[in-house]
């Protein structure tokens, strides 16, 4: 090249397209991570009462919250999903839940019932509590606990074959949130700018 002469640049279009596609995918991965983080942050604290209908779920076992993930960006497309947690759509939109692996669903009564459920983890059979079943005058099955020196009997669970869960959306509010949209746009733009700067400086 001569000083003051012409400068010839050779550009490989395929390589440029591939590089830009990678840059966009990196930006979308950052935006998707923002969405995942926001959704998880909306869940109520562990061990608390059930969330009110219309609000994101309260954490019980943490399975659903942990399952919220994103796919790696491919051609600028990222999917945020719940990794096949079967009851996720029911919480998002509302609907019936039926007992499948066991005969009944055990619905906790009060704070102590929730504590027993949390400590028992997978099944109440693992609980060291003195639990037994009775049938109330109205025909409801109750799981009772006998405890204390006087062997006081207290209802801890209602046993149901199925229950209807009102919607507790956690995905849709995030998608509709202007705050989340702006945060995703910032994350996308910052990553794009960083990658482009690296390409220019390379």
Q: What is the pLDDT of residues 123-174, one digit of tens each?
A: 666 566 778 888 888 888 888 888 877 778 888 888 898 989 899 999 999 9
pLDDT tops 60 at residue 192: yes
Measured between alpha carbons, how far is 202 from 198 in angstroms, rounded to an integer? 6
Which residues are 162's β-sheet partners?
A: 98
Task: Give the per-residue pLDDT at 103.
Answer: 84
DSSP assignment string, 46-75: TTSPPPPTTSPPBPSSSHHHHH-EEPPPBT
Ranking 20-34, 99-113, 175-189 by mean pLDDT, the lowest is: 99-113
pLDDT tops 60 at residue 9: no
Cβ proximity of 154 and 145 under 8 Å: yes
pTM score of the predicted model: 0.72
Task: Give the per-residue pLDDT at 98.
Answer: 87
Task: Determine whether 155 is exposed, middle or buried from the number of CB atoms within 10 Å of its CB (0-12, 13-18, 19+).
Answer: middle
Token duo for residue 105? 């669903």
């Amino acid at each position: 090249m001569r000083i003051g002469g012409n400068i010839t640049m050779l550009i490989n279009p395929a390589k440029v397209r591939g590089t830009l596609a990678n840059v966009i995918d990196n930006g979308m991965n950052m935006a998707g991570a923002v969405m995942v983080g926001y959704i998880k942050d909306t869940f109520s604290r562990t061990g608390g009462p059930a969330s009110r209908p219309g609000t994101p779920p309260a954490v019980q076992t943490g399975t659903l919250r942990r399952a919220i993930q994103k796919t790696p960006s491919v051609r600028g497309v990222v999917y945020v999903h719940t990794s096949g947690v079967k009851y996720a759509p029911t919480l998002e939109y509302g609907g019936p839940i039926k007992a499948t692996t066991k005969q009944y669903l055990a619905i906790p009564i009060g704070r102590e019932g929730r504590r027993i459920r949390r400590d028992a983890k997978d099944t109440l059979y693992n609980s060291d509590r003195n639990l037994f079943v009775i049938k109330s005058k109205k025909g409801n099955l109750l799981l009772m606990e006998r405890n204390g020196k006087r062997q006081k009997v207290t209802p801890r669970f209602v046993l149901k074959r199925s229950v209807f869960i009102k919607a507790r959306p956690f995905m849709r509010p995030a998608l509709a949130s202007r705050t989340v949209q702006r945060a995703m746009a910032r994350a996308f733009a910052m990553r794009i700018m960083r990658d482009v700067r690296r390409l220019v400086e390379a």
